C-alpha cells in the first residue's frame, strides 16, 4: 500500500494527466486536491481523447473512486458539462465524489476575473478568466459559497441576495458592468445543485476511511510548482497551492499519510501566460518544440511558450516538494534535434546563481547558463524499454536525473498510455527508481 502525490515540477502542462492516468490503475482512490477549471488534463486511451478539467484522471478506471477535495473550487456548470461528456463516451461517473467543503465559482467571480485582468493592461497576469482567483479570494475573505451551501436551497437564496447585492456594487461602480439578478442566479444554481447532490460527500472523512482500509491513494494536483501561490514565481501564479504540501491541506489529511511524491517534468520547458521565462526560445527551435509537442493549453487553447529544460527550477521543485522520483514526459519531441541544451544555472548581472530567486525583479534579470548535449536524431515514440532508447537519449535522461539529484521512474514518449517506459511503479514498486546518474 502506498499513498502518492503527483505534482507538476515546472509551470504546469507537464503531462500530469497521463501520468495520473497510468498510476490510477494501481490506485483505489484518486484525489484532486486544489485548483479549478483553469486546469486541464488531456488523456488519450485507445485513440480516444479525454479532456478533463475538474474530474480526476482516474475516472477512466471503473473501480477507482475519484474525489474532488476541499481545496478545489467548483464551477458547477462546467463540471456538469464534463460529467455529460465522459458519460457520453461510455465512462461511468458513479464513483465520482465532491467535497461538501469545496467552494463554488459563481457568475460574478468570472465577470470580476475577466474585468480585472483587462484593467491590468500591461500588468496582466495571464489568467484563464474562469473566476478562479475571485473564488479563492472570497474563500479567504470568508464570504464564499461552498458545496454544502449549494445543497441548502433556502439558505442559498438568502446568501445570494446578500452577496450579489455587494458584488453588484463592484460590477457597476468599479467595472461599469450590468448588475446580476439574484433570483436568476439562484434558479440557475438550483438545477446544478440537484444534479450534483448525489456526488457530494465529506471528502476528508472518506479519504481517512480509505487510509484505514489500507487503500492505495493517489493525490493529483493541478498546475505546477512554479505557479504555487506561496512558492511560485509571484505574482504570475495561480490562487492555490499545487505543491506537495498543498495536498495535505486541500485533501484534509495529515502529512504522515503520504508515502511518496512524484514530480512530472517535460524533457524541455513550457509556460502559459505572462511572467519571466529564462530558457524561452523565440526562434525556430522554440517553434519546433511547440509544433512537435502540440503545445496549446487544454483549457484556453493558448499557445504555450517553449524553451530548453531548466535545471534551476527543477532543483527548486525537488526542494519544495520533497520529490523522490520523476516522470519525464515528451522525450520524443526532442527526437529531431542535433543538439540539446540544458540550463544548469543563471547569470544575474555577471554573478552565477544556482537557486531560484524569490525577488521577481531579480528573476526577470536571469540569463540561462547552458550545457550542451548531443541529440539522438532517432525516433523514440515506439520505445517501450530503456534498452530500446538511443544511447544519447538515455544519456540525456541520466543527465537530468543527476542534475536534479532524483531518479527517474517513468518516461513518456507520446500521448497514448502505451507510449511509456515504466521503470518503477511509484505505488507498488521499491522506494528507489532504477534510472539515476549511476
Q: Say what the pLDDT of residue 108 is.
A: 97
17 neighbors 60 (Cβ within 8 angstroms)? no
Give the pLDDT band of residue 299 (cuts 50, 70, 90): low
Band (73; pLDDT cuts 50, 70, 90): very high
On the question of pLDDT at 421 being above 90, the answer is yes
What local confidence, expressed as pLDDT, does residue 45 receive? 67
pTM score of the predicted model? 0.92
pLDDT of residue 132: 93
Mean pLDDT of the chain: 92
What's the pLDDT band for 58 if we cut at 50, 70, 90? Answer: confident
Span 156-168, pLDDT tens digits: 999 999 999 999 9
Q: pLDDT digit string (tens) for 273-296?
A: 889 999 999 999 999 999 999 998
Name the pairing type of β-strands 73-74 and 65-68: unpaired
Q: What is the 3-state secondary structure (H, E, C) of the chain?
A: CCEEEEEECCCCCCCHHHHHHHHHCCCCEEEECCECCCCCEEEEECCEEEEECCCCHHHHCCCCEEEECCCEEECHHHHHHHHHHHHHCCCCCCCEEEECCCEECCHHHHHHHHHHHHHHHHHCCCCCCCCHHHHHHHHHHCCCCEHHHHHCHHHHHHHHHHHHHHHHHHHHHHCCCCCCCHHHHHHHHHHHHHHHHHHEECHHHHHHHHHHCCCCEEEECCCCHHHCCCCCCCCCCCCCCCCHHHHHHHHCCCHHHCCEEEEEEECCEEECCCCCCCCECCCHHHHHHHHHCCCECCCCCCECEEECEEHHHHHHHHHHHCCCEEEEECHHHHCCCCEEEEEEEEEECCEEECCCCCCHHHHCCCEEEEEEEECCCCCCCCCCCHHHCCHHHHHHHHHHHHHHCCCEEEEECCCECCCEEECCCCCCCCCCCCECCC
Give residue-wise pLDDT tens across range 197-248.
Answer: 999 999 999 999 999 999 999 999 889 999 999 999 999 999 999 999 999 9
Cα–Cα dist 141/382, whole Å: 51
Catalytic residue set = 13, 41
Calculate what percentage of the chain has a pLDDT beyond 70: 95
Q: For residue 274, what pLDDT is reported? A: 87
Region 285-308 average pLDDT: 87
* The pLDDT value given to residue 70: 97
The model's pLDDT over 86-124, given as tens digits with 9 standing for 90+, comes to: 898 888 999 999 999 999 999 999 999 999 888 877 777
Distance CA 138, CA 52 (A): 25
Amino acid at each position: 500500500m502506498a499513498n502518492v502525490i503527483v505534482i507538476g515540477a515546472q509551470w504546469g502542462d507537464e503531462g500530469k494527466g497521463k501520468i495520473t492516468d497510468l498510476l490510477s490503475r494501481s490506485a483505489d482512490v484518486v484525489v484532486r486536491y486544489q485548483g479549478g477549471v483553469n486546469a486541464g488534463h488531456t488523456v488519450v486511451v485507445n485513440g480516444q481523447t479525454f479532456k478533463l478539467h475538474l474530474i480526476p484522471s482516474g475516472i477512466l478506471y471503473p473501480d477507482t473512486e475519484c474525489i474532488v477535495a476541499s481545496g478545489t473550487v467548483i464551477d458547477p456548470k462546467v463540471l456538469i458539462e464534463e460529467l455529460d461528456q465522459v458519460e457520453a463516451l461510455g465512462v461511468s461517473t458513479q464513483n465520482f465524489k465532491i467535497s461538501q467543503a469545496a467552494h463554488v465559482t459563481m457568475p460574478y467571480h468570472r465577470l470580476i476575473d475577466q474585468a480585472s485582468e483587462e484593467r491590468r493592461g500591461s500588468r496582466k497576469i495571464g489568467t484563464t478568466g474562469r473566476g478562479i482567483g475571485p473564488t479563492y479570494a472570497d474563500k479567504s475573505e470568508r464570504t464564499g459559497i461552498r458545496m454544502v451551501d449549494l445543497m441548502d436551497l433556502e439558505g442559498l437564496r438568502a446568501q445570494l441576495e446578500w452577496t450579489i447585492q455587494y458584488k453588484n456594487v463592484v460590477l457597476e461602480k468599479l467595472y461599469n458592468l450590468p448588475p446580476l439578478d439574484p433570483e436568476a442566479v439562484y434558479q440557475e444554481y438550483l438545477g446544478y445543485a440537484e444534479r450534483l447532490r448525489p456526488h457530494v460527500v465529506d471528502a476528508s472523512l472518506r479519504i481517512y476511511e480509505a487510509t484505514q482500509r489500507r487503500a492505495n491513494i493517489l493525490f493529483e494536483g493541478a498546475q505546477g510548482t512554479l505557479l504555487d501561490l506561496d512558492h511560485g514565481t509571484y505574482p504570475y501564479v495561480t490562487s492555490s497551492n499545487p505543491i506537495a504540501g498543498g495536498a495535505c491541506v486541500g485533501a484534509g489529511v495529515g502529512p504522515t499519510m503520504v508515502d511518496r511524491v512524484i514530480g512530472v517534468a517535460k524533457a524541455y520547458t513550457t509556460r502559459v501566460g505572462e511572467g519571466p521565462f529564462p530558457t524561452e526560445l523565440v526562434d525556430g527551435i522554440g517553434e519546433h518544440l511547440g509544433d512537435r509537442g502540440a503545445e496549446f493549453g487544454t483549457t484556453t487553447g493558448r499557445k504555450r511558450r517553449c524553451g530548453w529544460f531548466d535545471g534551476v527550477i527543477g532543483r527548486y521543485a525537488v526542494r519544495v516538494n520533497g520529490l523522490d522520483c520523476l516522470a519525464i514526459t515528451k522525450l520524443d519531441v526532442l527526437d529531431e534535434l542535433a543538439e540539446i541544451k540544458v540550463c544548469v544555472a543563471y547569470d544575474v548581472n555577471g554573478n552565477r546563481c544556482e537557486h531560484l530567486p524569490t525577488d521577481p525583479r531579480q528573476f526577470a534579470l536571469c540569463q540561462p547558463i547552458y550545457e550542451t548535449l548531443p541529440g539522438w536524431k532517432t525516433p523514440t515514440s515506439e520505445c517501450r524499454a530503456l534498452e530500446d532508447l538511443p544511447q544519447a537519449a538515455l544519456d540525456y535522461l541520466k543527465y537530468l536525473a543527476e542534475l536534479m539529484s532524483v531518479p527517474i521512474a517513468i518516461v513518456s514518449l507520446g500521448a497514448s498510455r502505451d507510449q511509456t517506459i515504466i521503470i518503477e511503479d511509484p505505488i507498488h514498486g521499491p522506494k528507489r527508481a532504477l534510472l539515476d546518474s549511476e
